Structure 1
Amino acid sequence: MSADLERLAAEFEKFQAKIKQAEVKFAGVGEMQERLGQLEASVTSRDRTVTVTAAAGGTVTGIQLSPDAVRQPAPALAATIMSTLNAAVAEAVRRQAGIVDETVGAAFGLSATEQVRQAQEQNLGTAVEELTSHHGKAQAQPKARPVKRDDDEYFGEYSVYGDEEPRH
C-alpha cells in the first residue's frame, strides 16, 4: 500500500509541476492583452498626402488627408488611400504577431510573425519589405494631429472630387 501511495504522490508532484509550467507560460497574457489594446500602426503614403492608422486585428482607426490629397483626381486619391490602408493594416497585424510571439511564442514553439509574413506575401503577391518600402515609415503609437479650424474651412470650400476651384 505504501508503494501505491508513493506512486500517487509522485504523480501528484508531476501534475503540480505541469500546473506551474502553465502558470509561467500564461503569466504575461494580461500584459499582452493590454499591449494589444494600445497597439497602433500609422503609415503615410510616399507622397505624404494620406496617413492611415490601424489597431490590433487590422481595425482602421483613422484616415487623414492632407490639403494636397483632395487636389488629386478621384481615382488617384482612391488608389493612394487603398494602398496606404493596406500597408497600415498589414503593419498592425505584423506588430500584433510580434507581441504574441514575445509573450507565448516560445512556450508553444510557434512564430506568429513568420506565419503572418508568409500569409501577407502570398495574399499581397509581394514581399513585406516591398510593401513597407512603398510607403512612408510606419510609426509606433502615433499622436493624432488636432484638426485646425482652417482645415475644416479648406475641406468645406473644395470638393473631394479634385476640383481646382473652391466651391462657393
Structure 2
Amino acid sequence: MSAEFEQLVAEFEKFQSKIKNVDDQLANLGQMQSELSELEGVATSADRSVTVVAGPGGAIKDIQLTDRAMAQPPQALSAALLSTLQQAVAESARKQASIVEEHMGGGLNLTEQVLESQAQLFGKDPEELRAAMEQERPRRRSAEEERFDDYSQQSVLSSGDDRGRQAPPPPASGGGSAGDAFLKNLFDEDQR
C-alpha cells in the first residue's frame, strides 16, 4: 500500500506542478496584454512636418502636422502622411511581435517573420530594419537601478520577473510541504 501511496503522491505533485505552470502562463498573458495595450509606434517624416502615433494592431492614435506640413501642396502632404503612417504602423507591428515573442517564447520566430515581410514591403534590407528595432528597444535597467525599485504596487505572490521561466518542479515525495506531510501521516495512520 505504501508504494501505491507514493505513486499517488507523485501524481498529485505532478498535477500541482501543471496547475502552477498554467497559473504562471495566465499571469504572463495578463502582463503581455498590458504591454500590448500600452505599445506605441511613432514615426516622423524626414522633414519633421508630420508625426504619426500607431497603437496595437496598427490603430492610429494621433497625427500631428506642423505649419510646414500645411504649407505643402496637397499631393506632397498626402505622400508624407501615407509614408509616415506606414512607418508608424510597421514600428507598432515590430514592437507587437517582439512583446508576443518575449512572453510566449522565442520559438515562434515572429519578429523575424515581421522583419522579413516589412523588408519586402518597403524594399529595405532586413538588417536595416533590425538595427532600427534595436534603437527603438527600451534600455534594460541595471541591477543597481532595480535594487531601488518601489515595490508598493507589485504583487507579493510573484516577483514579476519570472516571465518565460519554468516553475521549479515540486519537491520529491520525501521532503514535501507541511500539507504533504499531513496527508502522508494521515494515510500512514490508516495502515497501522
**Residue in structure 2 matched with residue 114 of structure 1 by the alignment:** 112
**Residue in structure 2 matched with residue 67 of structure 1 by the alignment:** 67
**Residue in structure 2 matched with residue 95 of structure 1 by the alignment:** 95
Shift of 1:57: 0.9
Which protein has greater RCO, CA pairs closer than 8 Å, 6+ apart?
Answer: 1
CA contact (8 A) 1:54 1:92 kept: yes
d(CA) in 2 for partners of 1:91, 1:49: 19
Which of 97, 121, 124 is matched with 1:126 structurally? 124
Q: 3-state SS of the aligned residue for 1:126?
A: coil
Aligned pairs for 1:15-34 within 5 A: 15-34=15-34
Aligned pairs for 1:5-84 within 5 A: 6-84=6-84
Q: Matched residue pairs, number?
A: 136
d(CA) in 2 for partners of 1:80, 1:133: 23
**Residue in structure 1 matched with residue 186 of structure 2 by the alignment:** none
TM-score, L = length of structure 1: 0.66
d(CA) in 2 for partners of 1:19, 1:120: 39
TM-score, L = length of structure 2: 0.58
Q: Which amino acid aligns with 1:122?
A: Q
State percent identity of aligned pairs. Answer: 49
**Residue in structure 2 matched with residue 145 of structure 1 by the alignment:** none
Distance of aligned partners of 1:114 and 1:28 in 2 relative to their CA distance in 1, 3 Å threshold? same
Distance of aligned partners of 1:78 and 1:128 in 2 relative to their CA distance in 1, 3 Å threshold? farther
Shift of 1:99: 1.8
Q: Which amino acid aligns with 2:120?
A: Q
d(CA) in 1 for partners of 2:30, 2:61: 23
Shift of 1:48: 0.7
d(CA) in 2 for partners of 1:61, 1:12: 49
Shift of 1:24: 2.5
CA contact (8 A) 2:50 2:80 kept: yes
CA offsets 1:47-70 (integer angstroms, 9 cap, x no match): 111111100111111111111112
Shift of 1:102: 2.4
Tell me which moved more, 78-87 or 65-74. 65-74
